[in-house]
Amino acid sequence: MSLRIQFARHGGPEVLEGADVAVPAPEPGELRIRHRAIGINFVDTYLREGLYPVAALPSGLGSEAAGVVEAVGAGVEGFAPGDRVAYADGPPGAYAEVRLLPARHAVKLPPGVDFETAAALMLKGLTVQFLLERTYRPVPGEAILWWAAAGGVGLLACQWARAAGLRLIGVVGSDAKAEQARAAGAWATIVWPREDVPARVRELTGGAMLRVVYDSVGRDSFMASLDCLAPFALLVSFGNASGPVTGVDLGILARKGSLYVTRPTLATHLATRERLQDGAAALFRRVQDGTLSVRVGQRWPLSAAAAAHRALAARQTVGASLLLP
């Protein structure tokens, strides 16, 4: 039997419950994976709350983990029992000791990348990769704004930006988080809501404002993000930490300078095996050459998933958070 964290109704962390389940042999195209470390991400709370749909209830949770292949289904090529693997998307169900996963979502871990690093890195690192290399590619010397710069994604973005020669302005929630973001590579920081974000961006850029803003906060930061942009610039809204952006009057984009807004997802960027492998290879290279290091700020046992979600919602976490089976 395997412990699996699931929910039978939508709601707060209290809906998460443990269940002992039997994990059968993999079907064709599947892997059976025994997890060694499981990543916790804000997108998990969106599924739990019902913001994003699930196929059926009760549902598993989690889309990021690392572990060892126990069994391989018919027709699967490139994997064998004993392989060290990780993944960052696919059907919810990572909050489990053992699970079945379609093999197309998994990648092998290279030497030097351990289980905890992979589970803390895959989803967040691949998110940074597609945001900075596919959605919009800033040029060296360019200033960019990144919300939640001391979070799991944000600290990786600070490192990636520094290596790429970018001037990342990190929005954070406290002086302590500002220090962490600067240590990771942020060029400057803004403590919000104590500081006025657009006013500080205007000061830092000499009035030029920005060509791009990366916003994972959502509803509460949307207007401030738009006010940080120069004409014809791009707002990349890639998260809903404060709630989804709704009821937007598109005329605002015209009045603020013919602006652009996009809402990309990691799932779209990993929709093909080729994209997944290319993104993972780029990510692992940066780990192996020392460009990226992941900070695991919190670890909980798998059975304490509800407590982990409460800490995440209260913004009491720094860096990446893991569940350990």
* Mean pLDDT on 113-117: 95
CB count, 10 Å around CB of 100?
19
**Per-residue model confidence (pLDDT) at position 200:** 98
| H or E element in which residue 15 lies | none
Overall pTM > 0.85:
yes
**Per-residue model confidence (pLDDT) at position 51:** 86
Answer yes or no: is pLDDT of 312 > 90: no
* Mean pLDDT on 146-169: 95
**Per-residue model confidence (pLDDT) at position 151:** 86
CA distance 191 to 241: 17
Looking from the CA of 240 toward its CB, the CA atoms found within 13 Å total 16
Pick from 157, 201, 137: which is nearest to 319 by CA?
Answer: 157
Q: Please tell me the class of the 140-263 domain.
A: alpha beta
The chain-wide mean pLDDT, for the chain, equals 95
**Per-residue model confidence (pLDDT) at position 210:** 98
Q: At what angle do helices 115-130 and 273-288 cross, to 10 degrees?
A: 120
**Per-residue model confidence (pLDDT) at position 240:** 82
**Per-residue model confidence (pLDDT) at position 318:** 74
At residue 25, φ and ψ (nearest 5 deg) are -65, 150
Look at 25 and 297; give whichever has higher pLDDT: 25
* Mean pLDDT on 52-78: 96
* Mean pLDDT on 177-188: 96
Asked whether the CA dihedral 26, 28, 33, 38 is positive or negative, the reply is negative
What is the rounded end-to-end Cα distance, in angstroms, of the chain? 13
**Per-residue model confidence (pLDDT) at position 248:** 86
**Per-residue model confidence (pLDDT) at position 297:** 87
Residues of the chain with CATH 3.90.180.10: 2-121+270-324
**Per-residue model confidence (pLDDT) at position 112:** 87
**Per-residue model confidence (pLDDT) at position 85:** 98
* Mean pLDDT on 179-186: 96
* Mean pLDDT on 42-53: 91
Q: Which option is the CATH number for 2-121+270-324: 3.20.20.20, 3.40.50.300, 2.60.40.1180, 3.90.180.10?
A: 3.90.180.10
- Poorest-confidence range of 72-81, 202-211, 240-249? 240-249
Listing DSSP states for 71-97 in one string gives EE-TT--S--TT-EEEES-SSS--SBS
**Per-residue model confidence (pLDDT) at position 173:** 94
Answer yes or no: is pLDDT of 52 > 90: no
**Per-residue model confidence (pLDDT) at position 231:** 98
CA distance 24 to 126: 30
Is residue 299 within 8 A of residue 40, CB to CB? The reply is no
SS3 234: strand
Answer yes or no: is pLDDT of 286 > 80: yes
pLDDT tens readout for residues 219-271: 999 999 999 999 999 999 998 878 888 888 999 999 999 999 999 999 999 99
Is residue 53 within 8 A of residue 126, CB to CB? The reply is no
Answer yes or no: is pLDDT of 319 > 80: no
**Per-residue model confidence (pLDDT) at position 188:** 98
**Per-residue model confidence (pLDDT) at position 193:** 95
CA distance 166 to 163: 8
* Mean pLDDT on 152-174: 95
Answer yes or no: is pLDDT of 10 > 90: yes
Look at 75 and 295; give whichever has higher pLDDT: 75
218: phi > 0 → left, psi -120 to 50 → alpha, else beta; which?
Answer: left
Answer yes or no: is pLDDT of 289 > 80: yes
Residues of the chain with CATH 3.40.50.720: 140-263
pLDDT confidence tier of residue 69, bands split at 50, 70 and 90: very high
